Amino acid sequence: MSSERKAVTRAIAAQALLNACKKLNPAVMIKNPVMFIVEVGTAIALLLVCWPDLFTAAHASRGYNFAVFIILLLTVLFANFAEALAEGRGKAQADTLRKTKSDTTARLVRKDGSVCFVASTELRKGDNVRVEAGELIPADGEMIEGVASIDESAITGESAPVIKEAGGDGSSVTGGTRVVSDFIVFQVTADPGESFLDRMIALVEGAKRQKTPNELALTTLLAGLSLIFLIVIITLVPVASYLHVALDVSTLIALLVCLIPTTIGGLLSAIGIAGMDRVTRFNVLAMSGKAVEAAGDIDTLILDKTGTITYGNRMAAEFIPLRGGSVGEMAQAAFQASVKDETPEGRSIVELAGRLGVSGEEGEYAAAEAVAFTAETRMSGLNLPDGTTIRKGAVDAIKKFVAALGGQAPGDVDEAAARIAKAGGTPLAVAVGARVVGVIYLKDTVKPGLKGRFAELRAMGIKTVMCTGDNPLTAATIALEAGVDDFIAEAKPEDKIAAIRKEQREGKLVAMTGDGTNDAPALAQADVGLAMNSGTMAAKEAANMIDLDSDPTKLLSVVSIGKQLLMTRGALTTFSIANDIAKYFAIIPAMFIAALPQLESLNVMHLASPHSAILSALIFNAIIIPLLIPVAMKGVKYRALTADRLLARNVLIFGIGGVMVPFVGIKAIDLALQGLGLV
């Protein structure tokens, strides 16, 4: 499932061509009203090839009818090919997943503690299963015992194994992944056929894909337009009779097919399937096309601070010496206090001290006694062999420590701590013996590039809200640095739901990320809930999207993909409808110019003959569908613009382009037909 895999292979294209022929079944075609009308026209044209005088109206030559039949057949096949090609990528992905899903033998742990071997297909919800190192996990579940390294590359495409531990938020396991080290015992949470992998296969195959509300509305609109044009074509017959113009049935069919929105009708389904596929290729599993579409209409993003906006680990940013001290002395003391501290904070202090010129190895302090951090003391450090004590920790804890040794903290320690807290950081005081030498500034670092991405969202009219358990002062500082529009400080799970509901009451669509069981209610409440694959099963079941890479910032990219889907659909709809103008100028004069010479002014393309005009327009109408398949599959290039500017851009490019391109294309086809002597 690597996002770099080849989009369309020769095998996928060949299978799509075969499936395009299978989709000619009228029972399948009737689901797409526009292309069903084209198929009915194709069938009538075939009848006219066999019996040119089948209808009492004027009839064209068998060769002309055959040409119309072939072009209409290709039009339907091209539309079916576009849909089949989009489906083919999903089916290829599903085949890869099926290789992961295999019947394996599972160690079922009975209630009495004994273990027996059963087929994975016999496992049911509530069963406890033990998996040893090197074995495949036979079903979805929640770990209840053990800590293990698990290879999830079959699902996520990432080669690095992840650590899973019972009792934490990251305790869910997925069937088809492999235990690399140690062992786990997990409780099965899905019956056969209902697992995460089963649902994933069905979704990427499109077997359960339903049209989104937007897609249904557009399909209804296209069907309505087609019906209107059908009525127009029918009324042309008596008008032509009144003008003593003989219109053959093939020409009427060609006119109908050219005027109805066949381009978007042929590509609409492919656009929807490809949109879901783009999300899946991005290692996000969308539970429905509606979720992808909703992501494109999002008004508000609610994001956790820790792990999403910031790295989550506080890192040493600055050493602040107190009166009478130096940065060098302060850095040396901070290094010694942290040299045996394996926490991310401790490692960052050692790294910062090294950058300031402090040298030393942990081995030099082998004889020193390490003092670990505890909730009671709220500090850690070293006791050197010569009796010197070095500590770092909370400011008030260090002040009490030096006071117990007969010392007194200088007044500027509180000033330094207040300045750090106001900046949104965490102060750690450092003491050597009974003297406080300085304060370490620990900072929760904002991820690079986020400010620019939030600015892009703001340009699209999307509001960003940061949720954090930090105090308001710290939250305000991080929010300012990250560039979010608003923040909720000291947030509890119920505060997230309240924030979502408040936005929804104002008529806005809301998206959020989460991974814990306590996030499940908010994920379910949000219009787009993105759960982390490393999170709990409750969170994944509540969300309508799952990020297989467990990257909380990916929600920002999901919004971009959703908007790209809507942009692509809107752009190609604009292009398809604009196409009709050129076809009108090509066909209408050709049909009536003999009876109404005044229509010569509309014959701006000066096509060779009436039949050439009709065939040229019909050929262009057919070949524009495969030419636009890459656009439908890849999507219109996404730009961070407001809805008004996007509309103006689409009208300019695809509206005006949709008018101009057919004039050039139809004239070129007409010249080619003349050159080949076919008209």
Higher pLDDT, 3 or 20: 20
Taking the C-alpha atoms of residue 629 and residue 615, their distance in angstroms, rounded to an integer, is 22
Higher pLDDT, 474 or 367: 367
Average pLDDT over residues 20-37: 90
% residues pLDDT > 90 (the chain) = 18
Do the annotations mark residue 474 as ligand-binding?
Answer: no
The answer on pLDDT for 157 being more than 60 is: no
| SS3 state at 550 | coil
Taking the C-alpha atoms of residue 531 and residue 545, their distance in angstroms, rounded to an integer, is 6
Cite the DSSP H helix spans in 284-371. Answer: 289-296, 327-338, 344-355
Q: Are the C-beta atoms of residues 278 and 5 closer than 8 Å to each other?
A: no
Containing H/E element for 661? Answer: helix 656-675
**Model pLDDT, residue 412:** 87
Q: Are the C-beta atoms of residues 19 and 298 closer than 8 Å to each other?
A: no
Do the annotations mark residue 341 as ligand-binding?
Answer: yes
The helix-helix angle for 554-592 and 450-459 (nearest 10°) equals 40
Nearest to 337 by CA among 396, 391, 373: 391
Backbone angles phi, psi at 160, to 5 degrees: -75, 125
Q: What is the residue type of 161?
A: P
Do the annotations mark residue 112 as ligand-binding?
Answer: no
**Model pLDDT, residue 543:** 85
Query: Tokens 């009108």 correspond to what residue?
Result: 584
Do the annotations mark residue 545 as ligand-binding?
Answer: no
Per-residue pLDDT tens over the stretch 322-376: 877 888 899 999 999 998 888 878 889 999 999 998 887 777 888 889 998 887 7
**CA 578 from centroid of its chain's CA atoms:** 30
Q: Are the C-beta atoms of residues 629 and 270 closer than 8 Å to each other?
A: yes
Q: Is the dihedral of CA 600, 605, 609, 610 positive or negative?
A: negative
Nearest to 10 by CA among 80, 78, 76, 92: 92
Give me the residues paired with residue 380 across strands: 392
Q: What is the residue-wise DSSP string for 72-112?
A: HHHHHHHHHHHHHHHHHHHHHHHHHHHHH----EEEEE-TT
| SS3 state at 585 | helix
Per-residue pLDDT tens over the stretch 529-579: 888 776 777 777 788 888 877 776 777 788 888 888 888 888 888 898 888
Per-residue pLDDT tens over the stretch 286-335: 777 678 888 888 889 888 777 678 776 678 889 999 877 888 899 999 99
Do the annotations mark residue 143 as ligand-binding?
Answer: no
Nearest to 427 by CA among 400, 382, 393: 393
Residue 531: both structure tokens together: 């759960």
Do the annotations mark residue 575 as ligand-binding?
Answer: no
Give a three-class secondary structure readout of 383-443. Answer: ECCCCCEEEEECHHHHHHHHHHCCCCCCCHHHHHHHHHHHCCCEEEEEEECCEEEEEEEEE
Average pLDDT over residues 658-667: 88
Q: pLDDT-derived band of residue 1, with 50, 70 and 90 as boundaries?
A: very low
Instruction: Give the CB-side neighbour count of residue 162, counting CA atoms within 13 A.
Output: 21
Containing H/E element for 613? Answer: helix 610-634
The answer on pLDDT for 114 being more than 80 is: yes
Do the annotations mark residue 248 as ligand-binding?
Answer: no
Instruction: Give the CB-side neighbour count of residue 455, counting CA atoms within 13 A.
Output: 7
Angstrom distances, CA of residue 481 to CA of 296, 452, 466, 486, 622 = 26, 11, 12, 12, 53
The answer on pLDDT for 151 being more than 90 is: no
Tell me if residue 549 is catalytic. no
Query: Tokens 């009708």 correspond to what residue?
Result: 265
**Model pLDDT, residue 6:** 47
**Average of per-residue pLDDT values in the chain:** 82
**Model pLDDT, residue 5:** 42
Do the annotations mark residue 177 as ligand-binding?
Answer: no
Taking the C-alpha atoms of residue 265 and residue 242, their distance in angstroms, rounded to an integer, is 34
**Model pLDDT, residue 7:** 54
**Model pLDDT, residue 196:** 66
Taking the C-alpha atoms of residue 164 and residue 331, their distance in angstroms, rounded to an integer, is 36
Supply the DSSP symbol for 341.
Answer: -
Find the angle CA(406)-CA(412)-CA(418) to the nearest 5 degrees.
115
Q: Are the C-beta atoms of residues 581 and 602 closer than 8 Å to each other?
A: no
Do the annotations mark residue 140 as ligand-binding?
Answer: no
Q: Is the dihedral of CA 337, 340, 346, 351 positive or negative?
A: positive
Instruction: Give the CB-side neighbour count of residue 247, counting CA atoms within 13 A.
Output: 27
Do the annotations mark residue 401 as ligand-binding?
Answer: no
Do the annotations mark residue 373 as ligand-binding?
Answer: yes
Do the annotations mark residue 568 as ligand-binding?
Answer: no
Taking the C-alpha atoms of residue 62 and residue 72, their distance in angstroms, rounded to an integer, is 15
Average pLDDT over residues 404-428: 85
Average pLDDT over residues 176-188: 87
**Model pLDDT, residue 440:** 93
Backbone angles phi, psi at 618, to 5 degrees: -70, -40
Q: Name all domains of the chain by residue range, CATH numbers in brackets.
A: 124-191 (2.70.150.10), 283-309+447-558 (3.40.50.1000), 313-445 (3.40.1110.10)
The residues near 342 (Cβ < 8 Å, ≥ 6 apart) are none
**Model pLDDT, residue 97:** 57
The answer for 17, left when phi > 0, alpha when psi is -120 to 50, beta otherwise, is alpha
Q: What is the residue type of 145?
A: E
Q: Which position among 151, 277, 304, 670 bears the catalytic label?
A: 304
For the entire predicted model, the pTM comes to: 0.65
How long a stretch of residues is the chain?
A: 679
**Model pLDDT, residue 207:** 44
Backbone angles phi, psi at 411, to 5 degrees: -65, -30
Taking the C-alpha atoms of residue 558 and residue 567, their distance in angstroms, rounded to an integer, is 14
Nearest to 557 by CA among 284, 172, 154, 243: 284
Per-residue pLDDT tens over the stretch 266-287: 888 888 777 777 787 777 877 7
Contacts 24+ apart (CB under 8 A), 637-645: 638/560, 638/561, 638/563, 638/564, 638/567, 640/456, 640/457, 640/459, 640/460, 640/560, 641/459, 641/460, 642/459, 642/460, 642/461, 643/460, 643/461
Do the annotations mark residue 388 as ligand-binding?
Answer: no
The answer on pLDDT for 197 being more than 90 is: no
